[in-house]
Chain A
C-alpha cells in the first residue's frame, strides 16, 4: 500500500509546475544562470576597474617626475593636460564630477636624487566612496617599481652587493613547511563546506513537496477522502514521507549534476581534472561514506518538514512555518565550520553539527569509525523518532482539522 501511495504522490508532484521549478529548473538552469551571471559581472567589474583609463592631474612643474612619466607611459592612465589649476577646491570638484580620478601633489621634488638618503613625501588625492580604491591600488603598483629601482640604486651607492641588499631589505625569511598532508588540508576546507552546501539543498528539496502533500491536501479538500480510506495513518504518512525524501535527494543530485554539467561546459578539461583530483585525494570510499553520512540527516529533515506541513492549515501558513527552519539547519552547520571545532563525543550528540564534523573528519582521513557509526545510528534514530512523531501528529484530529 505504501508503494501505491508513494507512486501516486510522486506522479502528482511531478505534474506540478512548481515542483519542476524547484526540483529541476532551479538547480539545473536558474541557479547556475544566477551564479554564472554573478561571477561574470563580478569578474567584469573587477576587470573594468583594473583596465579603465584613469584620468589624473598633476602640476605642470612635475611632468618630468618618474611616477608621472611611468603613469603617462601606461595606456591605462591619462594625464589631463587641459586642466590647469592649483586651486584645491576646483580640483576636488573635478574629482567629484568625474573629470579626473585622482590628482598628485608631488611638491618641489620633481626628481629624486638616488644618492641621498632622504625620504620624499608625495600626496595622492582620490575619491574612494565605493571602498574598492582602484586608483590607489593601481598607482601603488606602478610606484612599487620606482621604489624598487631607487632602493636598489641607493643600496648599490652604499657599496652593497645583492646578498647584502637582500639581508637589509628582508633581515628574516620565514621558510614555510606545512607538514600536514595535502588531503588533511583539503579535507578540512572541503569537509566544512560540503555539508554547508548539501544540507540546505536537502531542506530546499523537501520543503515544497512536504507542503504540497500535507497542507496542500488540506487546502484542496482531498485529505478527508484519504483519511477515511481503509489504510492505516502510518502507511499514508510513510508514503508521503518517502516522496518528500525522494524529492530532497533528487534536489541534491540534480544540483550536483548541474554543477558537473555546467562545470564541464565552461571549464571542460578542468572540471574533469578537478573531479579526478578530488577522487584521487580523498578516495572514492571516503566520498561514498560522506554521502552515506548525509542520508539520516536528509531523513530527519524530510520527517521534520512533513510534520510541520501536516500541522499547517494551508500553503501560506506552511510557508510561514518553514521560513525560520532554515536558521535551525544553518546554525549547527555554521558551528561545525568554526575554526577549532573538532569532532569529539561532546559534538557527536549535537544533531546536524555531528554529521558536518564527521564529513570533515572522513575527508581529512582521520575518521574514528566507532564514533561515525554512533553518529549515523543516533541521527537515524532521531529521524525515526521524528517520523513516529509525524505519524502520531497525523492521527490527531486537532492537527488535521485545525
Chain B
C-alpha cells in the first residue's frame, strides 16, 4: 500500500510579481511562503487506480512530485509498503514509477540506450536489463525503433519509451501526472490501455487528469484537491450522492468550487 499522511509543502515566493499572481487573499500565502499542500493524506492499494482531480494550481502536480520524491515534503509521512520515503529513500524509489508529460529522455541516445541507462540506475544487472528491455519492447511494440535515436521519434514513440522507462524496475506503484495531456487519440489510447493493464497486473496507480471520461473508465477512487487540501477521497458513487449531481463533471465542479 502507498500511504500519504499529513503532507505539507510550501514554497518561498520570490518576488512581488509572484505574490500578485497568487492573489493576496489566497489563504495559502503566509508571509513570503506559499503553502501548496496542507495536510494531504491519501492511500492507494495494490490493484487500485486513484484519480487525482482539482483545478489548476490546486496542488496536484506538487503532490505527485512529492510522491515521486522529486520534491521533499516539509511535514508528513510517505510510505510504500514498508519503505519510508524519508528514512529509506532508495528502497522507496525502487517501488515507485513516475511519468509525466514533461519528464523527458535523452534525445542523443537511442531508446535502448536510454532504457539501459535507467535500468542501471535502478540497479538491474546486465542480464536483467536485457530481459526487461526485451519484455517491455514486445509489450509496447517498440522493436522497430528502439535502436534509433530518441530525438528522431514521434510523440507516440517517445511516450512508449517513457512508459517503458517508468516500468523498467517493475515498480509496485505508478504515479502519473497528466499522462494524456497533449497527446493525439492514438497515443492517448496507448496510455489508457497501459494503465488498465498495469492495474490488472496488480499495480497501484495514482494519476492526475482533467478528463472525466478517463476517470470514469479507469478509476476506483477519486481524490479531489482544493487549495492544497483533500476535500474528497472516496468512490465515484459516493461523490455523486454527496454532491447530488448526476454527472461526474458536475460533481467534481461542485467539490472544487470557485
Which of A's residues lie within 8 Å of B, judged by CB?
Answer: 1, 4-5, 8, 11-12, 15-16, 220-222, 224-232, 397-398, 401
- Give Cα A398 to B91, complex, Å: 25
Set of chain A residues within 8 Å of B71, measured between Cβ atoms? 397, 401
CB pair B93–A16 under 8 Å, yes or no, is: no
Most chain A beta-carbon contacts within 10 A, residue among B104, B105, B121:
B121
- Give Cα A398 to B11, complex, Å: 9
Mark interface residues in B97-124 (1 if CB within 8 Å of A CB, else 0).
Answer: 0101011111111000100011011110
- Give Cα A232 to B123, complex, Å: 12
- Give Cα A398 to B98, complex, Å: 21
Most chain A beta-carbon contacts within 10 A, residue among B70, B89, B100, B122:
B70
Mark interface residues in B109-142 (1 if CB within 8 Å of A CB, else 0).
Answer: 1000100011011110000000000000000000
CB distance from A23 to the nearest CB of B (A): 15
CB pair B70–A221 under 8 Å, yes or no, is: no
CB pair B69–A4 under 8 Å, yes or no, is: no
Answer whether residue B72 sits at the interface, using C-beta atoms and an 8 A cutoff: yes
Query: For chain B, which range describes its interface: under 10, 10 to 19, 20 to 34, or 35 or more residues?
Result: 20 to 34
Contact of A227 among B70, B91, B100, B106 (CB under 8 A): B70
Set of chain A residues within 8 Å of B113, measured between Cβ atoms? 8, 11
CB pair A221–B103 under 8 Å, yes or no, is: yes
Shortest Cβ-Cβ A-B pairs, 8 listed: A221-B104, A229-B121, A230-B93, A15-B108, A230-B90, A4-B120, A222-B104, A228-B68
CB pair A224–B117 under 8 Å, yes or no, is: no
Set of chain B residues within 8 Å of A397, measured between Cβ atoms? 71-72
CB pair B12–A398 under 8 Å, yes or no, is: yes
Set of chain A residues within 8 Å of B121, measured between Cβ atoms? 1, 4-5, 226, 229-231
CB pair A8–B96 under 8 Å, yes or no, is: no
16 A-B interface contacts by CB (under 8 A): A1-B120, A4-B117, A4-B121, A8-B106, A220-B106, A225-B105, A225-B165, A226-B121, A227-B69, A230-B89, A230-B93, A230-B123, A231-B121, A397-B71, A398-B12, A401-B71
CB pair B109–A229 under 8 Å, yes or no, is: no
CB distance from B126 to the nearest CB of A (A): 11
